[in-house]
Structure 1
Amino acid sequence: MNRSFALVTGLHWGGVLFYVAAAICAIAGTVFKKDRLDRLATRFAVPGLLIHGAGLLVWWRIVGHGPYMDRFEVLSANAWIAVATLLIAGRFYPRLKYAGMVVYPAAFSMIAAGLFFRPEIKKLPPTFRSIWLILHILFYKISFASFLIAFAFSFFYLLKQRNRLQKLSRLPELPAIDLIAYRFTGFGFAFWAIGMLAGSIWAYQSWNVFWNWDPVQTWSLITWVLFGLYLHLRRFFNWHGERAAWLFIGCFLLALISLYFTPLLESSIHAEYFK
């Protein structure tokens, strides 16, 4: 067992090293306007994703369930989905490569934080054995990855609009940055809604109730409504630019609270998750 733990830890730290290298290349490629460094960022991220994924699979085999119980595995899986989403989407939309300046540091930070908490083997409660739970968690992870990319471009908008960093002139024009943030927010909003729906079906299977105003459910709904407000204001009230970026950043911070802090409340039926 000790060898298995060592293997999992080693694979995760290997992924961290590749993500760090990818982050350095992504930032340097943008600041110094070097296409070669941009390409190197992707070349470092891909093997990092594979090594990181291998670590998650080994851990899955050890604990006998998916990565959705212990803080280590939750953070690690979120990091993996975030990088995978960026690399896949980046194949179709090359301008998304700039989000690597945020996504790669976020990924290796989540992995490092998970390892800091120390991996623990936790048995899966009977109520957690449902395909709807798997879908519920998967959709939330995809939503978080989409919001992380939207956060990156909202942040870029504020930097470029205020000319804080002239060396970021390589970024797309402000309208394009604003549009990317808007579209990925819509994508994340849809998957957050599907995740809530799948979670409601799982709750009915487990406790014969679709919704009981559990703290996690409540804050998740509030977060979704606020993202919906962001989209509504943009679509019907012509909100864009700086004020839209600031509103999104506020919504994103609330999403972090919903995902990582409300599950710690002992009064929640989600108390077994992320403890």
Structure 2
Amino acid sequence: MNLLAAEPNEQLAQISNYLIYSAMAVYVLAFVAYCAEWTFGSRSKVARTAAALTGKSGETAVPAQGAEISVRVKSSQGGTAVLDKPATATPKIVTRSGTGKRGDLPDGPGAAAGDEQGDMYGRIAVSLTVLSFLLHFGGVLTRSLSVRRAPWGNMYEFSTAFSMVAVAAFLGFLLARKNVRWIGLPLVTAVLLDLGLAVTVLYTDSDQLVPALHSYWLWIHVSLAIICGALLYLGFVGSVLYLFRDAYETHLLAGRKPGRVRTSIMERLPSAGSLDKFAYRINATVFPFWTFTIVAGAIWAGDAWGRYWGWDPKEVWSFITWVAYACYLHARATAGWKGRKAAYLAILAFACYLFNYYGVNIFFNGKHSYAGI
């Protein structure tokens, strides 16, 4: 029996739909929990960044590396002795990768959940994210089993797989004990938007592919495009939040006092320097894989259509995306572009990826049009 020509299993396809809808319901609960974490989780520590910038705070100061501290020790005779000893515990300080005028700033206390209440909401949110991811994964897997092929043969399948990989990357960072819980709220928001668009506008019935897509390159080329895009999205989030946090730090440095709500939200984030570095590391790591994705697509085009490059709209915008990220990395390495200018370039580059993802399939006709919307 030819598996490629097999009829879709409608029962599995229906189970896939139920699992995707269930995942969306749990993502909504996770969204509420993340909102609670951001709203209530760091109000007791909102002055930390202001203290680092102005030197004024009601909190206990922590000595710098190598400084001596006085320790009072009660002796057995009832007296006390004062001992001077080097400080052994120092806070983790992150250097801002901008102009350097602000010196060293600590990450916002909310970046790792903040107080006990914030940690509780954060743990609930992450637990719900894990549950929704498992349902999401089940939906993608059963869709694949229903057609016995890779589950990214059209825009609906690509979208569900894309958001699933983005959540998997976030959970992977958490498993590696990276302090990225601050990504949770924007990530779950984007996943809900992506899945909502997928099940309404982009939904396509489970079916087999056109002959041109019956290739092992479907597993290599398209899966790499999904993985790269999901990781680039995390870098995009880092760049966007960097702009907000950088403006907040500039506001404090100018001696102005932000509102309570803005302060509470901004203190949930790492420092601007940490966000800038996070976005750069992800984009620099993904860029070689995006390069190979384009090369793999060209090789597949040679096998399927007899030419490696034909300036198809999808090929053109894949190349434009590559150029945009190349400019971002080149500007940082040679011109020293860091901070806001680099963030704008990174956001522009991801906008090119998004247009290649949605816009090309919707607004242009080409050899990739059979992927459908």
Name the TM tier (shorter chain).
over 0.9
**Aligned counterpart, 1:274:** 372
Q: 2:19 aligns with which of 3, 11, 18?
A: 11
Q: What is the 5 A alignment of 1:108-257?
A: 108-117=192-201, 118-163=203-248, 165-167=262-264, 168-257=266-355
CA–CA separation in structure 1 for the residues paired with 2:38 and 2:179: 11
How far has the Cα of 1:93 moved from its partner?
4.7
Q: Normalising by the residue count of structure 2, what TM-score does the alignment of the two structures yield? A: 0.70
1:83 aligns to 2:167 (yes or no): yes
Q: 1:49 aligns with which of 120, 133, 146?
A: 133
CA–CA separation in structure 2 for the residues paired with 1:113 and 1:58: 20
Q: Which of the pair is proportionally richer in helix?
A: 1
Give the number of equivalent residue pairs. 275
1:259 aligns to 2:357 (yes or no): yes
Residue 23 and residue 190 in structure 1: after superposition, are their counterparts in 2 closer, same or farther (change >3 A)?
A: farther
How far has the Cα of 1:42 moved from its partner?
1.6
How far has the Cα of 1:169 moved from its partner?
0.9
For the Cα contact (< 8 Å) 1:56–1:77, is it kept in 2?
yes
Q: Structure 2 counterpart of 1:211, which letter?
A: W
How far has the Cα of 1:23 moved from its partner?
2.6
Q: CA RMSD in A?
A: 1.9
1:38 aligns to 2:136 (yes or no): no
How far has the Cα of 1:9 moved from its partner?
2.1
**Aligned counterpart, 2:183:** 99
Instruction: Give the percent of matched residue pairs that are identical in Structure 1 and Structure 2.
Output: 28
Residue 271 and residue 81 in structure 1: after superposition, are their counterparts in 2 closer, same or farther (change >3 A)?
A: same
Greater relative contact order structure (CA < 8 Å, 6+ sep) = 2
Residue 258 and residue 23 in structure 1: after superposition, are their counterparts in 2 closer, same or farther (change >3 A)?
A: same
Q: Which of the pair is proportionally richer in strand?
A: 2
Q: Structure 1 counterpart of 2:229, which letter?
A: F
Q: Structure 1 counterpart of 2:352, which letter?
A: L
CA–CA separation in structure 2 for the residues paired with 1:191 and 1:41: 31
CA–CA separation in structure 2 for the residues paired with 1:258 and 1:264: 10
For the Cα contact (< 8 Å) 2:290–2:322, is it kept in 1?
yes
**Aligned counterpart, 1:69:** 153
Q: C-alpha offsets along residues 209-241 of structure 1, whole Å, 9 cap, x if unaligned?
A: 211111100111011111110111112111111
CA–CA separation in structure 1 for the residues paired with 2:12 and 2:219: 25
Larger Rg: 2
For the Cα contact (< 8 Å) 1:70–1:122, is it kept in 2?
no
CA–CA separation in structure 2 for the residues paired with 1:24 and 1:242: 31
Alignment gaps of 5+ in structure 1: none
